[in-house]
Structure 1
């Protein structure tokens, strides 16, 4: 199954989506900071025979608007709500990795009537981290752009499926490869997260939730432990040997966990979120 590009415009900001079609329960995929919708292609291809899968290039990323004025958390959430409405994605499962997981979490908290279930991949409510924007800015500044070749980019990003996934987010211009985002937009998109935590929002979520962490990911045990204490009904799992980009490293295990979660039986009526 292949995808079709769909465009949603909200307040003048273009949001690009990869719509994989399908007639089942909608599943909306949200990438992390500096990511792109295409990094979900393997996951989307596996899920699309049973679910209506849409991967979103969020504002400032990928094929979406490159220089949005509003980089707030509220703007990211409003974009998701707009995508759900314009593409007729009724009560979807929201699945997000890293900053995309944070956006999914805030959407579930603020719009409980719109979200069927929430899946967080290497994401959580976090806490104040004032050094994060500078650290991320420094990391982006370390990229040796433009890359002379796609192969050079893959190698810089660590090779293997993770390197391939990050390199796929670049665009070729004048024979060399550039990021499809603006560095300052990325840093600005993190400023609210650096100033505060979102534990109240996490605690307010009522929909079924799956949290998937990498064994060597960035979510501290203290954070994941508090998440489960606040919402003990949350289903949580860790993928051995995987890191922050576990959706690229082990898409097979992520899909297996997701399919089990979506088809988890709750009684004689069958799956909680099972599609026909």
Structure 2
């Protein structure tokens, strides 16, 4: 069983699940409205690594309604985890979607703490659609206050790759199953992610791997621009998978990740 740790910072409690091990330290960061649970299979596939799984603020077992939802707050949390849980060590950051964005900003802010960066279905360009965050907030607000059982949750949520993770993450109460996050917190969180961060990207000095799924959320032009603006970035395009390729293209994703982690840098 992973050791459950808690890092307190800036009025928030950040849940850390330490899988242990004597190898290089890898920190896995989930996407919006997810939690460390959806990264558990990836963590368990990284034999020889010391893996830390983090519930980012507003998610999972961390503080549900933190006052500060800025990108700086998320970055500060991860820096605090590294300094508290891996003192004197450098880590590799691996994130998906919003987690990739957090990982990238940590690497940009504190390259002295980071050996490598892996971004799965992540980008730094932001969004020029002012209503995108609002639509996501409305979607999460449309969820029932509670689901009677897993079957009713699946009926409502559909059959996308992320649904298994969402259902597994629901909190059981005497009245039913409830989400571990609030819609307005998700909306405010993703609105901050949608701001472009090209300056930090172009100045990034940490070795970086960008992984994109065949059926992911980014256009060919967006993927090409990421590499054009930082040509030293390694890029891998998976032969399958959606935006949640860590779930529906698991074997290929893990193979790519293992190979990159094993490459001397």
> What is the match of residue 236 of structure 2?
237
Q: How does 1:164-179 map to 2 (within 5 A)?
A: 164-179=164-179
Match of 1:215 in 2: 214
- Residue 83 of structure 2: which of 53, 61, 85 is its match? 85
Contact between 2:3 and 2:17, CA under 8 Å: does it hold in 1? yes
For residue 126 of structure 1, report the CA deviation from its aligned partner. 2.1
Give the superposition deviation at 1:155. 4.4
Q: Which residue of 1 aligns with 2:262?
A: 263
Residue 36 of structure 2 corresponds to 37
Is this contact kept in 1: 2:91–2:116, CA < 8 A? yes
Partner of 1:76: 74
What do you get for the CA RMSD once the two structures are aligned? 1.6
User: Does structure 2 retain, via aligned residues, the 8 Å contact 1:156–1:163?
Assistant: no
Q: Contact conserved, 2:146 with 2:178, CA < 8 A, in 1?
A: yes
Tell me if 1:183 matches 2:193: no
Change (3 A) 1:247 1:262: same
The 1:106–1:129 alpha-carbon spacing in structure 2 relative to 1, beyond 3 Å, is farther
CA–CA distance in 1 between the matches of 2:208 and 2:32? Answer: 22
Deviation at residue 144 of structure 1 after TM alignment: 3.4
What is the TM-score when the length of structure 1 is the normalising length? 0.90
Which residue number corresponds to residue 252 of structure 1?
251
Mapped pair 1:105 → 2:108: no
* Alpha-carbon distance in 2 for matches of 1:258, 1:232: 20
In 2, the alpha carbon distance for the partners of 1:201 and 1:165 equals 31
Counterpart Cα distance in 1 of 2:193 and 2:44: 31
Moved over 4 A (4+): none
Q: Does 1:140 align with 2:140?
A: yes
Name stretches of at least 5 consecutive residues in structure 2 with no aligned partner. none
Partner of 1:193: 193
- Residue 126 of structure 1 contacts residue 193 of structure 1 at CA under 8 Å; is this kept in 2? no
CA distance 1:107–1:129, shift in 2 (3 Å): farther
Per-residue CA deviations over 1:118-159 (Å, capped at 9, x if unaligned) read 000111112333112211112212323411112332444444
In terms of mean alpha carbon deviation, does 213-222 or 56-65 score higher? 213-222
Unmatched segments (≥5 aa) in structure 1: 265-270
Q: Which residue of 1 aligns with 2:8?
A: 9
Shift in Å at residue 108 of structure 1?
A: 0.7
TM-score by length of structure 2 reads 0.94
Residue 225 of structure 1: aligned partner: 224
Work out the CA distance in 2 between the residues paired with 1:174 and 1:168.
Answer: 17
Residues 1:66 and 2:64 are matched in the alignment: yes
